[in-house]
Structure 1
Amino acid sequence: MTNPPFPNNNIGYLCTDWQVERGLGSKTALKLIDKDENLVEISYAKLTALSNQAANLLSSLGFQRGDRIMLLLSKTIEMYAFFLGGLKLGLNSCILFNSIGEDSIVERVKDTETKAIISTSKMNFRLVKVLQKLDASFRVLLVDENQTEEQFVGIHDQLIHSSTQFSTSATDPEQYSHFHFTSGSTGKPKAVQHCHAGIIDHLRSFEDVMQANPDDLFWCTADPGWVTGTTYGIIAPWASGLTQIQLDANYDPDLWMLIIERQKINILYTAPTVFRMMAQQPEAFYQQYDLSSLKRVYTVGEPLDPNLVLWGRKVFHCEIYDTWFQTETGSIMIANRPGLEVRPGSMGKPLPYLEAAILESEDHPLPENVQGLLCIRKPWNTMFREYVGNPLVYQNKFLGNFYSSGDIAYRDEDGYYWYIGRSDDVINTAGHLVSPFEIESAVMEVPHVLDCAVVGLPDELLYEKVVAFVVHDQQAQSLRKLDMDIKLYVSKKVASLASPKEIVFTDKIPKTKSGKVMRRVLKKQYLGQDVGDLSTMEE
């Protein structure tokens, strides 16, 4: 799909009204399933009406183009309606993970000058504490309440009674649309800003990689708080006029296979972590289900082990395609896909309209089969426009005309790319990038902790697990209690996915003479490997 003649560049409009105008109003846009297998079907006409009501309600509450809002909602129709309705109104939205900690919410709100959070009363236990640390002008809009009490505003009936008609204004492609947060090896999580121009590459990448037919049923299992869940669990399939499945429940192998069987899923997009969990089941488990509707399975978020590709082919009787992109890139950059021979373990090749390169520095591209920084030539439509409030950090993400991903890879003689690892200390756990610095900062706030260092270590299920090395004081009477205190505190302050899977109590953290944590040494020691040169380590 090359620069289609959109009547309006607005992503919200293109996912809803445009589909109705194309004659798809009666087509099912969403099949929403809960943990009890209750099914709700929403047509494109209904999705359009609901998102229009959300846009009208937000407008009536005084929100204006450019305002930032956050959504703390599970996979419910309200979440989709307010995300799309906010886009139509010109708002700049961020969907948060439901497991996010209180302090992380506060930090993100302040860093981006967000004006409101849309949530439910089930989150009040967390949001009450959040509001205590924010300005009195900040509001929490509750979709399941009618009463207004101080900064909590009930909007349930107001939404129902809002008009289903809304005219989306012409939208500048460079107008900001949505943002996500990503972690670096040091410092706080950064807000990654995207704009409406991204819709071009949302659609191009979806067409080039997924190659879906109009009647295919698509299921992207990613949480919408993750860029994959927004780009390929909301925008791309609906802007393409497809029907998609969404499950508002945690991973359960029986439930997932039943959904594939009963709903006849054609294309599945998930994470290698899920594949690893699936592979724990015996092959006989999958023989109980009719999975013949599956045409293709795709993964993203971390490298897909070659053995898992072979396992997936055997179990699902279809090809398994691994893909690569980042929060900053906004859409798939490099992928295995139909029409391209799959080489298990490879990232695949860049999409036709993109140029990738392996660089050592700005002016030094590397030859084939030599490891270096994986880079993408700028610009492209889904390229992030800024790290909100961090212009210098944004500038440092580029090597001349190339975006530097921070990933180490190499390109073989046939043009396939192969992932090696990160060039920094970011931890990739279950497909989510986690900052060791952010976790260390939280651990240091726990009583009896004197020092700590956090690293990512190999894990068969999570790809990398978070491991914290902790030095404690003499007053810590129970290491079992301290272990639990640390895990609970990190889960509450940062997020549950950031909580250490293992805590190693130690007498000292290895550091350089300048005081920098030697994570390399910690990893080698943990794995029982040679720690190498220690000449720079403090005595």
Structure 2
Amino acid sequence: MHLATNLKDDRHAGVTPNLTRYADTYKNFRWQDVGICIDGLPDGVVNITYEAVDRHLVHERGQKTAIRWLPKTGAPQELSYADLAEQTSRFASVLQMLGVRKGDRVFGLAGRVPGLYIALLGTLKNGSVFSPLFSAFGPEPIRSRMTIGDARVLVTTERLYRKKIMPWRDQMPELKHVLLMDTSDKLPEGCRDLEKLLASGDPQCPVEPTQPEDMALLHFTSGTTGTPKGAVHAHQAVVYHILSARYALDLHQEDIYWCTADPGWVTGTSYGVIAPLCCGVTMVIDEAEFDADRWYQILQQEQVSVWYTAPTAIRMLMKAGDELPAQYDLSHLRFMASVGEPLNPEAIHWGERVLGLPFHDNWWQTETGGIMLANFASEPIKPGSMGLPLPGIEVAIVHRMPDGNLVFSNEEKDIGELALKCGWPSMFRAYLNAEERYLSCFKDGWYLSGDLAYRDATGYYWFVGRADDVIKSAGHLVGPFEVESALLEHPAVAEAAVIGIPDPVVGEMVKAYVALKEGYIGDDTLRKELLGHARKHLGASIAPKEIDFRDNLPKTRSGKIMRRLLKARELGLPEGDTSTLESDEHGARK
């Protein structure tokens, strides 16, 4: 089953997708032609902030609104591209006054406030390296990441500094400067008032002449065990940020764009800061946390045309009911997309039925730096599919053999590991100080993603699960996503997570954890009903044999349900890195 693209909707009949002839574009694509995506500077200089901010002034777009910031309380604030150019230059100048040079690491710890975005772009303008941190992190994950990243500068707020940095500041002598975006009358010892520093900064500070392969961003991603991994990305990534935003998110210069991701997550940097600004759009930033009424109000009042959000948020909107969005005018919306984890088909159908448009799912990782597969504006949507490869991205399904070699699969619906041929501009260049760990991700010129998937007869790819999440039961490979999607079709289910637990007869037994919508009681009657529902839709060999009810499921702040954590707790195994955990299921109901 598939859905027609939303751009056939009469409300936006005049909007032509950026990618109109997918098959021809994909076939004829050449990486040597993508230089037209950026302006560049003399002598081969490529700098992300120049492409995102300063070049718009050259093209006489300086007075256009770049950021429309919605604080938790109070009136919205706007920054034009000219404002951003000045403020990012001042920040770069401040770094230079402090002796912070090209390649030095600057960490940002704050919520969705303009100062963080200015710090990010100003750091890159200076040729320094920016590493975003989740503002909800506790002291230990912050300390470990800053230690691994060799932090020289931290940009944060006084509240976050006192609560999360002061307890261990003396353990990190390499941290030379702490710049506070807001301060009280008494500045904490060892900190600087960023507002005062910016006032004396040079508003015309030029862009540092960075080269395409110079390190620009350091994104930390959690592993199943061990320490977080610091994925290194270069300034050259900006080429792919722009290309993928135009193709996968169909961004046009006239769009009002809202990416709900936090800048502490790679999506919130690549597609919440860099790509939209490079495309010259006006982007909405909401400081507040999720609230269904507020979100619908933002979509209406800001006249958002392109909206990029996460499956968890979509499921929370679904949980809030179908009546709520009917109270708002959402007619300006023309394209909606989702990322963070695979989007269940039910959510896509709900979008089309209730919001008037389907969500377009896509797939990528911190390591890829940009969207690799997508359901495009001009192509049919296949609910539950990751979509088609972007032009320039060569994808394969492979099997790792015991001798270490790869066997490439050409069979329809053959489940194997998703692999990408190396060479796209936003590919990570290293795991910081972990070369062996980095090299283990590659084989024969292919990046091995660790995700299992299959390809259908039309070339669309379908996510099955992480290689270590897939369940082997009675000779069957059971993908958690398929089982979870079936459970979500039941009206009582708000969220579901599926794992395999050891079983002496079938190898692994499928077990599900379910969070219910309001008004439903997790008793034996409902448990039996859900088990029957799953057997009817999936068959007895794939359906779960056990269901536990939970008030909520453990998730990262990027919205991914942590199946491995559920499995570790079920089996009494080490939990690994849980620093990105947002919500937990402790105290849950059986």
TM-score of the two chains, using structure 1 as the length reference:
0.81
1:138 corresponds in structure 2 to 176
Q: Distance in 2 between matches of 1:457 and 1:13?
A: 47
Q: Counterpart of 1:283 in 2: which secondary structure?
A: coil
1:422 corresponds in structure 2 to 466
1:320 corresponds in structure 2 to 359
Change (3 A) 1:471 1:333: closer
Aligned pairs for 1:405-416 within 5 A = 405-416=449-460
RMSD: 2.8
Aligned pairs for 1:337-348 within 5 A = 337-348=376-387
2:347 corresponds in structure 1 to 308
Q: Distance in 2 between matches of 1:459 and 1:282?
A: 16
Q: Distance in 2 between matches of 1:494 and 1:140?
A: 26
2:406 corresponds in structure 1 to 363
What is the CA-CA distance between 1:368 and the residue it aligns to? 2.1
- Do residues 248 (structure 1) and 278 (structure 2) align? no
Once the two structures are superposed, residues 185-244 of structure 1 have per-residue CA deviations (whole angstroms, 9 ceiling, x without a partner) of 221110011010001100110111122232110100001111110000000010111111
2:488 corresponds in structure 1 to none
Aligned pairs for 1:95-174 within 5 A = 95-123=132-160, 124-135=162-173, 137-145=175-183, 150-174=189-213
Q: Distance in 2 between matches of 1:164 and 1:138?
A: 24
What is the CA-CA distance between 1:95 and the residue it aligns to? 1.1
Change (3 A) 1:285 1:171: same
Change (3 A) 1:494 1:371: closer
Q: Counterpart of 1:52 in 2: which secondary structure?
A: helix
Q: Which of residues 9, 17, 25 is equivalent to 2:62?
A: 25
- Do residues 394 (structure 1) and 438 (structure 2) align? yes
Q: Which of residues 43, 50, 53 is equivalent to 2:80?
A: 43
1:516 corresponds in structure 2 to none
Change (3 A) 1:236 1:247: same
Q: Which of residues 218, 236, 251 is equivalent to 1:179?
A: 218
1:512 corresponds in structure 2 to none
Which one-letter code corresponds to 1:327 in the other structure? T
Q: Counterpart of 1:3 in 2: which secondary structure?
A: helix
- Do residues 7 (structure 1) and 40 (structure 2) align? yes
What is the CA-CA distance between 1:470 and the residue it aligns to? 8.2
What is the CA-CA distance between 1:422 and the residue it aligns to? 0.4
1:501 corresponds in structure 2 to 585
Once the two structures are superposed, residues 97-117 of structure 1 have per-residue CA deviations (whole angstroms, 9 ceiling, x without a partner) of 001111111111111211121
Q: Distance in 1 between matches of 2:197 and 2:358?
A: 47
Contact 1:292 / 1:316 at 8 angstroms: preserved in 2? no
- Do residues 34 (structure 1) and 131 (structure 2) align? no
> Could you list the runs of 5+ residues in structure 1 that have no partner in the other structure?
430-454, 473-486, 506-525, 527-539
2:4 corresponds in structure 1 to none
Contact 2:417 / 2:449 at 8 angstroms: preserved in 1? yes
What is the CA-CA distance between 1:149 and the residue it aligns to? 5.2
2:491 corresponds in structure 1 to none
Q: Distance in 2 between matches of 1:150 and 1:255?
A: 38
- Do residues 464 (structure 1) and 539 (structure 2) align? no
What is the CA-CA distance between 1:137 and the residue it aligns to? 5.0
1:194 corresponds in structure 2 to 233
- Do residues 274 (structure 1) and 305 (structure 2) align? no
Which one-letter code corresponds to 2:330 in the other structure? L
What is the CA-CA distance between 1:497 and the residue it aligns to? 2.5
Aligned pairs for 1:486-497 within 5 A = 495=579, 497=581
Q: Which of residues 258, 272, 286 is equivalent to 1:219?
A: 258
> Could you list the runs of 5+ residues in structure 2 that have no partner in the other structure?
1-32, 471-479, 485-510, 517-552
Mean CA deviation greater in 178-187 or 128-137: 128-137
Q: Distance in 2 between matches of 1:10 and 1:87?
A: 7
Q: Distance in 2 between matches of 1:464 and 1:470?
A: 15
2:335 corresponds in structure 1 to 296
Which one-letter code corresponds to 1:250 in the other structure? E
Same amino acid, percent of matched pairs = 34
Which one-letter code corresponds to 2:149 in the other structure? T
Once the two structures are superposed, residues 53-80 of structure 1 have per-residue CA deviations (whole angstroms, 9 ceiling, x without a partner) of 1000111011000001100111111111
Contact 2:132 / 2:219 at 8 angstroms: preserved in 1? yes
